[in-house]
Structures are given as structure tokens and as C-alpha cells.
């Protein structure tokens, strides 16, 4: 068995499971937000702020952000490994997307927790 250090789950089976789990988390988060909009008559800044001040909403949002990043990284890795054959270019693009996703994570963390 070949182990590729660039994969998140270290094997195709783990990547498959991580993709499905992250997709389920993202679907649940989407339903969570949708239920907020359906049950709230008038969404104002105060209502939205109160909704995101709740600890469970913050934790679920952070979990959804991590799931999104895992999902995106596996997808980017698969696309790059399938379509970009020169190793140097593929490595550079993987580095670029890794830094970009870490930046997104930092921005999301700062936005949700207000650190």
C-alpha cells in the first residue's frame, strides 16, 4: 500500500470517510441555519448577534468550518493529483491552497470567537 503524505486521511478509505462525514456535518449545519431563518420572523442585527452569541452555535459553526476545510482540502488534493502532472507545479499549488485554507480557518475563528 502506498501512503501519500498529502492526503488528509492517509488512505483512500479514510479520505472517503472524511468526505462523507464532512458532507453530513455541512448538511446538518445548512439545515440548522435554514431552521433559524424559517423560525425567525424578522432577522435583524440584534437577532443575528444573539443567535451567534450562543455557545452551541459558535461550536457548531467552528465544526462546520473545520468540516468545510477538510472537504475542500481533500477535493483540491484529488483534483490537483489527477490533473496537474508536473510535481513542482502540483506541490506549489498544494502549498498555495494549504496556506489559503489556513487563512480561511484563521479568519473564521476570529470572526466566530472574536478573538
Q: For the segment 57-100, what is each residue's pLDDT rounded down to a tens digit?
A: 999 999 999 999 999 999 999 999 999 999 999 999 999 999 99
pLDDT exceeds cutoff 50 at 1: no
- DSSP single-letter state for residue 86: -
What confidence score (pLDDT) does residue 114 get? 82
pTM for the predicted model, two decimal places: 0.84
Report the alpha-carbon distance of residue 11 to residue 89 in Å, rounded. 23
pLDDT at 12: 84
- Whether 83 has a binding-site annotation, put simply, is yes
Domains of the chain: 12-113 (1.20.1300.10)
Residue 45 known to bind ligand: no
Amino acid at each position: 500500500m502506498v501512503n501519500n503524505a498529502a492526503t488528509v486521511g492517509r488512505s483512500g478509505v479514510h479520505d472517503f470517510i472524511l468526505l462523507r462525514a464532512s458532507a453530513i456535518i455541512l448538511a446538518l449545519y445548512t439545515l440548522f441555519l435554514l431552521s433559524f431563518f424559517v423560525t425567525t420572523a424578522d432577522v435583524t442585527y440584534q437577532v443575528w448577534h444573539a443567535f451567534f452569541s450562543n455557545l452551541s452555535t459558535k461550536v457548531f459553526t467552528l465544526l462546520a468550518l473545520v468540516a468545510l476545510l477538510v472537504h475542500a482540502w481533500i477535493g483540491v488534493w484529488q483534483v490537483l493529483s489527477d490533473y496537474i502532472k508536473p510535481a513542482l507545479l502540483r506541490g506549489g499549488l498544494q502549498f498555495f491552497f494549504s496556506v489559503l485554507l489556513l487563512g480561511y480557518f484563521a479568519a473564521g475563528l476570529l470572526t466566530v470567537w472574536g478573538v
